[in-house]
Amino acid sequence: MLKQRVITALLLLLVLIPALVYANPTPFYLIALIFIAAAGWEWARMNGLGATGAMASGAACALACAVWWAAGGLEQPLPGLWAVAGGLWVLASAWILKAGVEAWSLHPRALRLVFGLVALCLTWLAVAQAKLIGTNFLLSVLALVWMADIGAYFAGRALGGKFSKSKLAASISPGKSWEGVWGGMLGVLLMALVWRYADSAIGVTVPSLYTHVAQRGVAFLLITCVFMATMSVVGDLIESLVKRSAGVKDSSALLPGHGGVLDRIDALLPTLPLAMMLYSY
């Protein structure tokens, strides 16, 4: 399993890193589009659609994004859309998690399907616009999610051996603990402060999310980091809830050793639109 994870991760990095740093954003847009289409297929399968319906859902998701791209929508500022998307993510996620695993399958399938596909389309639009802003900005958002995950992993292991773990959401994701959440938040806060200092020291032309937010003061930066780290956990929990409702361990087996595409991008679904909301305002 470890060997598979490492090989898959290396192959993904060999594809993603050149596209990420390349000046022309088109290759990155295309790769992101493929990932979003695959995630749309996975989402449809986990919500009860058959092979044909799932393929059609993934294709529809990619087509909607491609049409927006072709129409020049990526270059348009969308503060209203990001404000609505951010607000809906906070409200909808609170409602979904409060209702629990059992309630998910009781919602109309069409509603569940639309929720996921719209969220995926907004994620593609957000990552594409973040790339258009600049690689430093996009990397700072991606790194926030990575650090929240890494910090949670190591804090959970370190504190779990000395103290009894306080389960975050035992019925949804038994492996997650409050110790992990606090560890992830601490990691994000430290990284944000260092990144902001590095932006200033290097004199970057495109500021990171942290430098952009810090214009309103360090206190606002810290509050933002805690909020964004929390929402990354929320994205992870919602996908776990859907998987548990569907009775599957992974969203698919597209990425050997890692599961599916949704398993890798679930935390980005709320954080990328929220990052664009913060940037817009």
Model pTM score: 0.93
Half-sphere exposure of 3 (CA within 13 A, CB side): 0
Crossing angle (nearest 10°) for helices 26-46 and 2-21:
140
Per-residue pLDDT of the chain (281 residues; tens, 9 = 90+): 557 777 887 888 888 889 988 889 999 999 999 999 999 999 999 999 999 999 999 999 999 999 999 999 999 999 999 999 999 999 999 999 999 999 999 999 999 999 999 999 999 999 999 999 999 999 999 999 999 988 888 887 776 555 456 788 788 988 888 888 899 999 999 999 999 999 999 999 999 999 999 999 999 999 999 999 999 999 999 999 999 999 999 999 888 878 899 999 999 999 999 999 999 98
Please tell me the predicted confidence (pLDDT) of residue 187.
95
- What would the DSSP string read from start to end of the chain? -HHHHHHHHHHHHHHHHHHHHSSSSHHHHHHHHHHHHHHHHHHHHHTT--HHHHHHHHHHHHHHHHHHHHTTGGGS--HHHHHHHHHHHHHHHHHHHHH-HHHHTTS-HHHHHHHHHHHHHHHHHHHHHHHHH-HHHHHHHHHHHHHHHHHHHHHHHHHHTTS---EEETTTEEEEEHHHHHHHHHHHHHHHHHHHHHHHHHT-SS--HHHHHGGG-HHHHHHHHHHHHHHHHHHHHHHHHHHHHHT-SSS-SSBTTTB-HHHHHTTHHHHHHHHHHHHH-
For the chain, which residues make up each domain, given as ranges?
2-280
- What pLDDT sits at residue 2? 56
pLDDT the model gives residue 165: 62
Report the pLDDT value the prediction gives residue 159, as an integer from 0 to 100.
67
pLDDT at res. 256: 84
